[in-house]
Chains A and B, each alone.
Chain A
């Protein structure tokens, strides 16, 4: 796997809040189905360290940030709308 194939996805959560848990579960499922073997997930718990919200200018939780490949993309919410998540990650083109 080359560096250009790697996906680095950072999920901002708030401890065990219900939406955070759902987001993590949905993210893992999406990655297994669409990025198998070429992704890494970083979970940033903002309850433990709220200052980290500044790095990616996080406003609402959960929020997923695609760090790699560029460009940086941000998807707000628990990723339960798979279509919206895939479009947000640019794994699928938006329907016209």
Chain B
């Protein structure tokens, strides 16, 4: 089959596929190394649903540092409605002392870079997070991981250590002056505090009140 004939058949094939809604992306840019894939709007839907459902915050900011997109999780982390986040400067949600650090991080703009920084939520709570640059092409897309569950796990371990120490003390006291009621009460309080923390972690790891004191 001659080349022009093949091209004609392929063009007809392409026309049929487009009219039939069988394609949802196109390759543009014919120069070497300049090809890009353009997705039709509905092709983004699956990504969008994943981003909206994931447990990490996601935020895209402009060159000037204004929020162009944020997912619901990021909005929940800050306790601020999405409609108010759009176009707001990302820096306005971190402490003044951290703003220069955030600026330097964003100016670096390398995919995979990470920064630990605390955001201030609307109710005044400090939210420690880890920012990761997921993509950078002038706009920076950031993943925001809430570090509080790690902190809660650390608190739980501390509480367990504390209980173990108390049990050791109780053993010593029971040996010396039974029935050692005061030590028993102390242990009981600590166990209750730890149980409360663990219940909260099980219930909703992303949203428990960090002010729960595992020591009761």
Contacts and interface: CB of A to CB of B under 8 A. Distances in A.
B42 interface: yes
Interface in B23-80: 23-27, 29, 32-33, 35-37, 39, 42-43, 45-47
Contacts of B181: none
Interface in B1-36: 10, 13-14, 16-18, 20, 22-27, 29, 32-33, 35-36
Contacts of A62: 22-23, 25
A14 interface: yes
Contacts of A76: 10, 13-14, 16-17, 22-23
Interface in A35-52: 46-47, 50-51
A59 B46 CA distance: 22
Interface centre among B13, B23, B36, B45 (most CB of A within 10 A): B23
Contacts of B46: 16-18
Contact of A14 (B14, B18, B25, B45): B25
A19 B43 CA distance: 8
B47 A77 contact: no
B25 A17 contact: yes
B22 A19 contact: yes
Nearest to B36: A50
A79 B13 CA distance: 12
B20 to A, nearest CB: 7
Interface in A49-64: 50-51, 53-54, 58-63
Chain B, interface residues (CB within 8 Å), range: 20 to 34
Interface in B124-178: none
B24 A19 contact: yes
Contacts of A18: 24, 42-43, 45-46
A2 to B, nearest CB: 26
A50 B24 CA distance: 15
A34 to B, nearest CB: 20
A74 interface: yes
Contact of B37 (A46, A54, A78): A46
A46 B27 contact: yes
Contacts of A60: 14, 17-18, 23, 25-27
Interface string A60-95: 111100000000001111111100100010000000
Interface of B: 10, 13-14, 16-18, 20, 22-27, 29, 32-33, 35-37, 39, 42-43, 45-47
Interface of A: 14-20, 46-47, 50-51, 53-54, 58-63, 74-81, 84, 88
13 contacts: A15-B47, A16-B47, A17-B46, A19-B23, A46-B35, A60-B26, A62-B23, A74-B10, A76-B13, A76-B14, A77-B16, A77-B23, A81-B20
